[in-house]
Structure formats: C-alpha cells, structure tokens
Amino acid sequence: MKKETKKILVIIGVMGWLGFLFQSIDLAMAKDPDYPTKPITFYINFAGGSTDISCRALLEATSKYLGQPLIPVIKTGGAGTVGAMAVMSAKPDGYTLGVCQSGTLTILPHTEECPYKDLSGFTLIANFGKQIYPLTVRSDAPWNTWKEFIEWARKNPRAAKIGTSGARSTQTPSMAMWVAEQREKAEFTFVVFKGGGEVLMALLGGHITMNTQLLDISTAEYINQGKLRILAFLRKEDKMPGYESLPSIQELYGFDSPAFLGVWGPKGLPEYVVKKLDDAFTKAVEDPRFVEVMNRMYMPIVYMDRAKMEKEVNEMFPKMGEIVKILRAEEAKVKK
C-alpha cells in the first residue's frame, strides 16, 4: 500500500512539474514583454505617391514609441496585392507589417486575379488616415459645376473620358463614376493608365476629360495654381478646406465608398503585439511631424483601433462585392 501511495505521489509530482513547464513555455510563446527587440519590416504597395509618403511619416513617428525602427520596403504590383501577399505569407511574430487601403481590403478580394479571396489571412491592426478623391477637370473646361458636366455628358454619350489607374471593378472612384452613369443615364469612356501620375499628366495635356484619382501633392498644387478645377468629391466628409460647398458622389447618389488607410499583419498576430502596436500608433498619429505631412497632402487623420476597423471593413466588404460582381459581368460582355 505504501509503495502504491509513493508511486501515486511521484506521478502527481511529475505531472505537476510538467504542467508548470508547459505553462511556462506557453506563457513565453504567448508574450514577449520586450517586443519589439529588432527592426520591423513594413511593406508599402505603392511607391512615390501619398500612400508612400504618409506611411514613411507614420513609421518615423511610430519608431519613437516602439524603440525600434520600422523599415519601409516597397513591394508594388498587382494593384497592391503583391505587397499584401508579402504580409500574408510572413511569420506572425510582429516583425512584418504592411499598409492596407480600401481596394486591398474590400474590393480586390472579389476579383478573379486577386490571390486572396477574403481577409482571413490577415490581422487588422489600426487605421490611421483617409485619402481624398477630388473629381477634377482643366480650368479651361466649359463646365463650372458638376451639374453642367453631367448635362453635357448626357448630350454627348461617351465623349467624357474618365481617367483611372485600373479597371472599373477594381477602383473606388471608377465605381463611383459608374454609379453616376446609372443614375444620370449618361455614358462615359473610361481610359486606363498605369498610375495616378499618368492620369494627371493626361488631364493636363488635354487627352482626357476628368481625373478621378486620389489627391496627392502634385494635384493639390495644380488646383491651388488654378490650373485644375474641382467639380465634386467622392465622399461628403473628405473635402479640401475651402471646397466644402461642392457636392460629393455620396451626397448626390448615395454611393457609400470605403475609406481606409491602415496597417495589417499576417494572420495569428499575438494580442500583446497588436496591443503594443496600437499604443504606438495612437501616439504616432498625434506626432507633430506626422500631422504636418498629412496636412500638407490634405489627408484626414482618422484613427481606428482593431475592433472599430474590423467592424467597418466587414460592413463594406459585401457591399463592394456586389458592385464588383456587376461590373465584372459588364466587362466580360465588352471583351466578347
């Protein structure tokens, strides 16, 4: 009996020791109190424009509060999906992050070319800003208002050449212009370019009628110089100072387009990593240098933590999917 009791006590002791060991290992794996202990790689999927500039300003500010540098790495291609896949395939240890925008979050996953079909492979961390989309024409254009432009477009089917940097089914402003077509019974011609810079140059050169791409420093400068005229904006809350009285596609036609400029990481990021990053980003968006850069580019600073960002993304995701489905079907008919 004593031997059996001794065996039982030994077994209990061993099990207790193993339990303590496994618990210690789990805790060590679950949380690194010193994170981050090395530089963090940050993928930027568009080079040279407002996304690139705003991200670099954010990374510089965030580095102050994390104690480690966030290294920007340009990863362009596939309308942003190449950079997204670099994030998705990374180890979920908090040392690889990337920028995510409205298109990569709510539009591209619904297209056949996109390598990810939903957002299950990512961890949303925070949203730090929005991008403004003014619908601009040359200052010598015969229309002073959106209403005048639409009336002309109705009388001249397909004469209005709308510059875009991608197919209608992959670009938020192109979707908005498609909605305007339907509501106004007008017909536009969409002209696709490789990037927003090319669209701007085509407009200035008189090769297209309207630029719908996001506002960057160059476009803002031409507007301020009086060389470009704004007829409308994409969203009612995203208007440049001094242009608040102009209409928006959202106000005119009820098209509620997504507005995200945030940070994500691979699936499975530990909660302590997300919390540490959220704390740092919260402080970074108030950094004077970051605020200065965003103001210079007319980009509103809009901070959302993970929970709020996930809620808004999940609301917009199916809505954009329905529009993409319709537009892809139309594009397929044209190809035939």
pLDDT per position as a tens digit, 105-129 = 999 999 988 999 999 999 999 999 9
Crossing angle of helices 146-155 and 172-184, rounded to 10°: 70
Comma-separated ranges of CATH 3.40.190.150 domains in the chain: 40-131+259-329
d(CA 294, CA 238): 13
Comma-separated ranges of CATH 3.40.190.10 domains in the chain: 134-257
Residue 167's CB is within 10 A of a number of other CB atoms, namely 17
What's the CATH architecture for 40-131+259-329? 3-Layer(aba) Sandwich (3.40)
Q: 91 pLDDT exceeds 90?
A: yes
28 backbone dihedrals φ, ψ, rounded to 5°: -65, -40
102-126 as b/e, with b when 16 or more CB fall inside 10 Å?
Answer: bbbbbbbbbbeebeeeebebbbbbb
Single pTM value for the model? 0.84
CATH number of 134-257: 3.40.190.10
d(CA 70, CA 39): 6
> So what's the pLDDT on residue 49?
83
CA 103 remoteness from chain centre: 6
pLDDT tens digit sequence for 196-249:
889 999 999 999 999 999 898 899 999 999 999 999 999 998 898 899 999 999
Q: Which residues contact 136 (CB under 8 A, 6 or more apart)?
A: 203, 210, 211, 219, 223, 228, 229, 230, 231
pLDDT tens digit sequence for 186-199:
999 999 988 888 99
